[in-house]
Structure 1
Amino acid sequence: MPSPDETTANGLWIVGTGPGRMEYMTGRAIEAISRADYVIGNDSYLEPLRPLLAGKQVIRSSMGKEVERAKKAIELAQSGRVAIVSGGDAGVYGMAGIVLEVLEHSGAEIPVEVVPGVTAANAGASLVGSPLSGDFAAISLSDLLTPLEVIEKRLDAVFSVGIPVVIYNPRSHGRPHNFALAVEHARKYYPATVPVAVIKNALRKGQADPVITTLGEIESVMDAIDMHTTVIIGGNESRIWRMANDVKGIITPRGYQHKYLY
């Protein structure tokens, strides 16, 4: 299926807007929103885009209305140009999956493009060194769409191979115990010395100073962890990164140290 381009009068862009600050959006994301007649999204994702929205029909939605949002975007994209926006990358815990599923079920044929964006994992990692230098996994602790027992199996699977794990949606008022459960699973496989980064509002308004701790001491910062936080639990080879003996972040060596002298 073709992507929307300068010659198409209709079509759909599913746009990852990154962390929420325009300087961290891709040029293609800005172009797609600028060319759209309609821009649809959750209000929290639309607010930072205000400079791009003049003269457009803006349709605001709320959390939990993803299916309705997808249906509306597809309906409008049959005769106009639509950008449906999603924080981070639209294909990573974002809107791309549900929009493409609804489009598939609708039988409509419209030009569509998924525009990538900076994820919470990328944004958070950039603030604490290089914790994700090699293989890593991302797990969401939200059990709204995925049963908790399935999440626990996935946690065991990724921790058992010793790689860094990025935890999305770690802790909310409705499920305050899921992160503590994830820590229990990590401790089955990782020593207490494994470094952990706690990053709140990474590269967005309200960003807090990242906290570097260890798996053995994570309870000391538990109250600071919420739905706006990304937690990076290092792998078996991860270590604290220091400069002049000050803790700066986390490094997960990729293996160069086994091959080169430096």
Structure 2
Amino acid sequence: MGIGPGSLSDLTFRAATCLEEAEVIIGYRPYLESIVAYLKGKEVFAGRMREELERAREAVLQAQKGKRVAVVSGGDPGVYGMAVPVLQAALEKGLAVEVIPGVTAATAAAACLGAPLGHDFAVMSLSDLLTPWPLILKRLRGALAADFVLVLYNPSSSRRQGRWKEAVEVIKEGRDPNTPVGIVWEATRPGERKVLTTVGEMEKFPVDMRSLVIVGNSQTYVAGGLMITPRGYERK
């Protein structure tokens, strides 16, 4: 189930009901810390980064005991989240799983910036932990060539500064330097901040795993401090 991008105000009614009815709640520790109000009286299993498979197996084990289990995922569980490992582990044991959607970081950050996703867009993660870097660059170039608005998750980390610089150079090759770019840090959380810049200036702003970068397409513009990608309603 997805708990949204960080603020409890973005937790859906359906997700909240799931948490209230669960007997066991399993999740990445920082995500659980954001829903403490729902953990009282529950059996809680908190995990660390890179323990996704272990959490999925624990969920299946608890479900096999007849317990109602909620596996927590930040944002939406099907967008770089826990839905895939949980479904795979459950299918092996013949268990049924309900995937409960949530507000993903892409739409949360987009709302903060204005309406940059008003037309076709491509969502990518720049983390090469699970995907080879050459494949990431291939997909990035393809999305640029197709003139998609780009939504970039996990743009950089302390270990991937060089990767981010390489990605920026690829973006510069495929976009006009004046193309609008929006960067949001800590979307919907207390420390939320944003900046509107351009492809030509985007590298001046340090990004990390808590950032989300939206690169506009050939039609994207900024007006009144808002980033907008028109869909073409005015031509109808």
Looking at structure 2, the residues matched to 230 and 219 of structure 1 have their Cα atoms a distance apart, in angstroms, of: 14
The question of 1:118 aligning with 2:103 is answered yes
Residue 183 of structure 1: how far off its partner (Å): 1.6
- 1:230 equivalent in structure 2: 212
Looking at structure 2, the residues matched to 115 and 56 of structure 1 have their Cα atoms a distance apart, in angstroms, of: 19
Residue 205 of structure 1: how far off its partner (Å): 3.0
Partners of 2:168 and 2:203 within 8 A in 1: no
Partners of 1:129 and 1:241 within 8 A in 2: no
- Please point out which of 26, 30, 33 is paired with 1:40: 26
SS at match of 1:197: strand
Cα deviations across residues 120-143 of structure 1 (Å, max 9, x unaligned)? 100000001100011100110000
Cα deviations across residues 226-248 of structure 1 (Å, max 9, x unaligned)? 11000000011101122xxxxx1
Residue 218 of structure 1: how far off its partner (Å): 1.1
- Please point out which of 189, 193, 199 is paired with 2:178: 193
- 2:155 equivalent in structure 1: 170
The 5 A counterparts of 1:11-30 are 15-30=1-16
Cα deviations across residues 25-46 of structure 1 (Å, max 9, x unaligned)? 1111001111000000011000
Q: Following superposition, which runs of at least 4 residues in structure 1 exceed 6 angstroms of deviation? A: none
For the pair shown, which has the larger CA radius of gyration, 1 or 2? 1
Q: How many equivalent pairs are there?
A: 235
Looking at structure 2, the residues matched to 253 and 185 of structure 1 have their Cα atoms a distance apart, in angstroms, of: 24
The question of 1:88 aligning with 2:75 is answered yes
Structure 2: which 5+ residue stretches go unaligned?
none
Residue 207 of structure 1: how far off its partner (Å): 1.2
Counterpart of 1:87, as a letter, is: G
RMSD of the alignment, in Å? 1.0
Partners of 1:17 and 1:88 within 8 A in 2: yes
Looking at structure 2, the residues matched to 70 and 36 of structure 1 have their Cα atoms a distance apart, in angstroms, of: 16
- Please point out which of 42, 48, 73 is paired with 1:62: 48
Identity of matched residues, %: 43
Looking at structure 2, the residues matched to 97 and 110 of structure 1 have their Cα atoms a distance apart, in angstroms, of: 14
